[in-house]
Structure 1
Amino acid sequence: MRSICRATLFALAGMLSACTMVGPDYQVPSDAVIQRTDAGAPFDLLDNAQVDQAPLPADWWKLYDDALLDRLVHEALANNTDVRLAYHNLRHAYEGFQMAHHAQEVEFGAAGSLARGQLSSESLALAEKIPVMNLADAGLSVGYQLDLFGKLKRAAESAGASADASAAALDAARITVVAEVVRNYLAACHASEELAIAEHSLGIQQQQLDVAKRLLAGGRGNEVDVARARTQVEMLRAELSPFESKKAAALYQIAALLARTPGDLPAAVAACNHAPQLAQPLPVGDGGALLKRRPDIRAAERMLASATADIGVATAMMYPEITLGASAGYTGMLEHIGDPITRRWSFGPSISWHFPTRVDRARVRAMEAGAEAALARFDGVVLDALRETQTLLSHYAHDLQRNQSLRDARDAARRAADDTRRLYQEGRLAYLDSLDAERTLAAAEAALADSAAQLSRDQVDLFLSLGGGWEGSGQAEIAARHPVEP
């Protein structure tokens, strides 16, 4: 008996010394796009003085220097339903990692039973019938699975990488919410500005209508001029509603982002009538900083790590599983439980293994294909991030040029309208000329206001593409609530 135990211990010691982790050890592939030198190169700023390569601050929305906007962003980060959903998805993934991480712990168990019955005499090789009796069983057990080929460790690697990807998804949710709050706040402010411009144009045209009526009454005008002026007044009046609708939609969206009902917004939000502007060039950093910062890139890289670990899990399934176990207790008639004759115990390893089949090998190949697919997705996310940011920089530069041209056109149209209005009121110019000048000014004002709103959208799109806004917004809190155990 002692020799058997000694042999068992030597065999177990040999297996433990041979412990290894099958499957590939993860590292970012050398041929991944993110490893290329040009992927981290500075962006082409297209000689745009309104952007520079300074590092992007974590709280980029504070560059607008608007206290109300800061409060809205803070509230959205605390209450937004998408952020809450992503946070609890992270909790779910973290607990999945905890289950995988502790899967190799020693397992303790206890069992007991009590029954009245009759045992089979024949099963015990007895000729006489065994009487009915009270039977009992009570015992303890302990077990430990030897992770000889790294199946459990690879599963923990996979679950940990998936949890990291969920953390990146939470960061992405924060970025999106911040960008949407800023976007809709600026949209509401621009809608108020555009509404004010339209109302101003309407007021000027109303004055023109009054002049046309007075000239008609004094015998110096005609019905056609009055009709044209009235038509222009009504056309300008019709343009007010779209701006009011645009502002209302932006306010309702802000309320939803803050987890409020549509009518539950501070009055100051609706009162904004001038969109805040950046007081400095927009900082964009370089490609290297972008690739480290964007959560979707981190999530794709972590999913690649998880897929790589899954190869090891599938490979380890083709090897034996060995568990060390021990149990002790009492089994027998209830009145004898505790006596030496009912005592039982056992100790030793158990092994389970099926010879690898085509199914097992296909499973490994499937995991390898999954890892290759994850690498392709990772490369695609990196390339899309660089393309998106460079495209938005180009749009911003050209929209700034367009805005300056529209500003020059508006200034020229304003001077022309002032001159023609004065000449018409003096009777030195036909009304049609004055009307055309007013129409041109109204169109130039509207186009310039729309261009300013587009520039604000461009800025928010750029900030969103750069991937900032999640740093420090709750990461420490999550770490404190759910520390990753070693």
Structure 2
Amino acid sequence: MSTSLRTRLSSLRYAASALTLLLTGCVSGPDHVPPQMPLPAKFEEGGNKSNGNVVTVEWWTAYRDKRLDGLVAHGLSENLDVLQALESINAASANVTVAGAGGLPSLTVDASHTLSGEKGRLRTTVGTTNTTGGEASLSWLLDFFGQYRRSKESAIASLGAAYATADNAKLTFLKDLVESYIDARYYQERIALSQASVKSRQQTYELTLLQLKAGAASRLDVVQAEGLVQSTKADIPGLEKSFTESAHHIATLLGMPASSLMGELQKSAGQPVFRGDMRAGIPADLIRNRPDIRKAERDLAAAVADIGAAEAQLYPSISLSGSISPSWVKSSGAKGASLTSWSFGPSLNLPIFDGGTLRANVDIEKSDAKTQYLAWKAEVLNGVEEVENALTAVRRDTQTLEPLRRQVQTSQESLALSTASYKDGASSLLDVLEAQRSVSDAEASLAATVQQVAKDYVDLYVAIGAGYLEPQQVASKPAAKSG
């Protein structure tokens, strides 16, 4: 590069730095202010103590099931929905660079070399010319009113929304996986109960056959006893189907082919029971902890920044451009010669008549910002509602467990008494069959309630936004910018 070219480029660089300092304070449009809305001091059935930051709380460990813990740890790094959401962060990060690039100087350098001449008779070449040239072009749109700065603010806010989307994907995965695991264990419990019921009713059927031979029972009693055995057997295939579907879904959530975990999950571990504290915190915690609310706030920040970018297009813009083109030409039989051409100057773009397009674009962005604000409020209220419902469900469903356990005990005792009475001939077979139905119904109701309470705790901790990040992820995660 020639000395004159370096001098001119150096001058342009110093001029750009000076103009950047002058233009820093000129930005169109409103600045984003984190939204606020009045919230109650506590949940209706909760306490008044804040939970603080719960995004790293591993609440699923309160089920004290090592197999479940292993599935969660594996799935957070392998779930395909989570991986897709994480990949979107890379695109959003690159978009920040793209959005800010328009407000920076652009320098391109081209170089060329050509050989030309004329060919005469007898294969002789006449007048060969070597031409070597280059061109350096510089352009810079002066961002007087902050169009590109607002665009970059919008892109940074969208990057924050991408992080929140990935967090929400993890939270959704946790809810789906843990509830599917609870369902699988519930179906296993129901299968075991049904198999035990078949055994008990088969014994009653065999006893009725003996009673028939002894003349103490009728053929109708035998048919009724056998029908109850068969109806119970008919329930088992449907329960096995439901268990298999739950196991297949768990495998899919872990990014594995369906049925990959059948062997592992078929090892019964009992129904999961939550043995932790019920910590709901206060409504204000949700704004910090729930990723869907944080995403809505970041979407609002991006929309507010877009207002400024649209307003900046209403005003004049100035572009600086320049180029320098040195060349060297040498013809055969002559000395080489150099030639340098250059140009530099500003250009002005002044929007005057556009049919109202630019102003309408501003109105569109303002409307979008209002929409995003309303969407943020909706997310907050939806979060509060989900926590309130989960608290109610945990408390009410838990209250039904003890009565159901007692009902199972009394129905089993009634079955034992009615069976003994039937053997002695003091009661009818109908009493025994009715007692068996009562035991089956009570045990099924208890298993279903244990399942529901376990899922109620999942709903609660997902509703407060707990457990989707590991501690090291919180430490390395960039702080969200509010514009």
- Give TM class, smaller chain: 0.7 to 0.9
Deviations 1:368-392 (A, max 9, x none): 0010011111111111111121122
Helix, strand or coil for the counterpart of 1:350?
A: strand
Identify if the C-alpha distance between structure 1 residues 401 and 337 changes in structure 2 by more than 3 Å, giving closer, same or farther. Answer: farther
Relative to structure 1, the CA distance from residue 377 to residue 324 in structure 2 (aligned partners, 3 Å threshold; closer, same or farther) is: same
Q: Cα offset for 1:424?
A: 0.9
Q: How many pairs align?
A: 454
CA distance in 2 between partners of 1:183 and 1:337 (Å): 86
**Structure 1 position 17 matched with structure 2 position 22:** yes
CA contact (8 A) 2:330 2:337 kept: no
Q: Which residue is 1:348 aligned to?
A: 345
2: CA distance, partners of 1:265 / 1:345: 71
Q: Deviations over 1:187-221 (max 9, x none)?
A: 11111111111111111111110110111112222
Alignment CA distance shift 1:200-1:337 (3 Å): farther
Match of 2:209 among 203, 213, 217: 213
Instruction: Confirm whether residue 45 of structure 1 aligns to residue 45 of structure 2.
Output: yes
- Corresponding letter in the other structure for 1:467: G
Q: 2:140 aligns with which of 137, 144, 154?
A: 144
Aligned to 1:107: 106
Q: How far off its partner does 1:113 sit?
A: 5.2
Alpha carbons of 1:416 and 1:319: their partners in 2 closer, same or farther (altered >3 Å)? same
Alpha-carbon offset, residue 157 of structure 1: 0.4
Contact 2:62 / 2:274 at 8 angstroms: preserved in 1?
Answer: yes
Are 1:198 and 2:194 matched, yes or no?
A: yes
For residues 249 and 478 of structure 1, do their structure 2 counterparts lie closer, same or farther at Cα, with a shift above 3 Å needed? Answer: farther
- After the TM superposition, which of the residue ranges 368-377 and 96-105 deviates more from structure 2? 96-105
Q: What do the CA deviations read for 1:256-301 (whole angstroms, capped 9, x no partner)? A: 0111111322733221340221223322222121221000000000
Instruction: Provide the aligned C-alpha RMSD in A.
Output: 3.2
Q: CA deviation at 1:334?
A: 6.3
Question: Equivalents in 2 of 1:114, 1:304: separation in Å?
Answer: 53
CA contact (8 A) 2:181 2:246 kept: yes
> Which stretch shows the higher mean deviation, 162-171 or 470-479?
470-479
**1:264 partner SS:** coil
Counterpart-to-counterpart distance in 2, 1:355 and 1:213:
101
Q: Offset at 1:407?
A: 2.5
How many percent identity over aligned positions? 28
2:318, 2:347 within 8 Å by CA — same for their partners in 1? Answer: yes
CA distance in structure 2 between the partners assigned to 1:114 and 1:369 by the alignment: 55
Gaps of 5+ in 1: 1-5, 118-130
Q: Deviations over 1:462-485 (max 9, x none)?
A: 2222221222277369759x999x
- Residue 304 of structure 2 aligns with which residue? 308
Q: 1:334 to 1:156 in 2, by over 3 A?
A: farther
SS in 2 for 1:43: coil
Going from structure 1 to structure 2, the CA distance change for 1:280 and 1:343 (only over 3 Å counts) comes to: closer
1:330 maps to amino acid: P
Instruction: Give the match for residue 78 of structure 1.
Output: 77
Q: Is the Cα–Cα contact under 8 Å of residues 286 and 380 in structure 2 kept in the other structure?
A: no
SS of 1:346's equivalent in the other structure is strand
**Offset of 1:439 from its aligned partner?**
1.1
Change (3 A) 1:464 1:16: closer
- SS of the residue corresponding to residue 105 of structure 1 reads coil
| 1:272 partner letter | S
- Aligned-partner Cα distance in 2 for 1:113–1:354: 38
- 1:256 maps to a residue whose letter is T
Give the 3-state SS of the residue equivalent to 2:342 in structure 1.
strand
In the alignment, the residues of structure 2 paired with residue 347 and residue 145 of structure 1 have an alpha-carbon distance, to the nearest angstrom, of 14
Question: In terms of mean alpha carbon deviation, does 91-100 or 347-356 score higher?
Answer: 347-356
Specify every segment of 5 or more residues in structure 2 that has no aligned partner in the other structure, as ranges: 1-10, 117-126
Counterparts of 2:335 and 2:325, CA distance in 1: 9
Q: Quote the Cα distance in structure 1 between the aligned partners of 2:245 and 2:20.
A: 68
CA distance in 2, matches of 1:245, 1:45: 38
Q: CA contact under 8 A between 1:100 and 1:152: conserved in structure 2?
A: yes
Paired residues of 2:271 and 2:450 also in contact (CA < 8 A): no
Query: Cα–Cα, structure 1 residues 276 and 284, in superposed 2: closer, same or farther, change >3 Å?
Result: same
Shift of 1:179: 1.6
Structure 1 moving runs of 4+ over 6 Å: 12-16, 114-117, 131-136
Q: Which amino acid aligns with 1:463?
A: Y
> Cα deviations across residues 132-161 of structure 1 (Å, max 9, x unaligned)?
998775211223332211111100000010
Cα 1:75/1:451, change in 2 over 3 Å: same
What's the counterpart of residue 399 of structure 2? 401
1:435-462 deviations in Å (ceiling 9; x for gaps):
1111111111111111211222222222
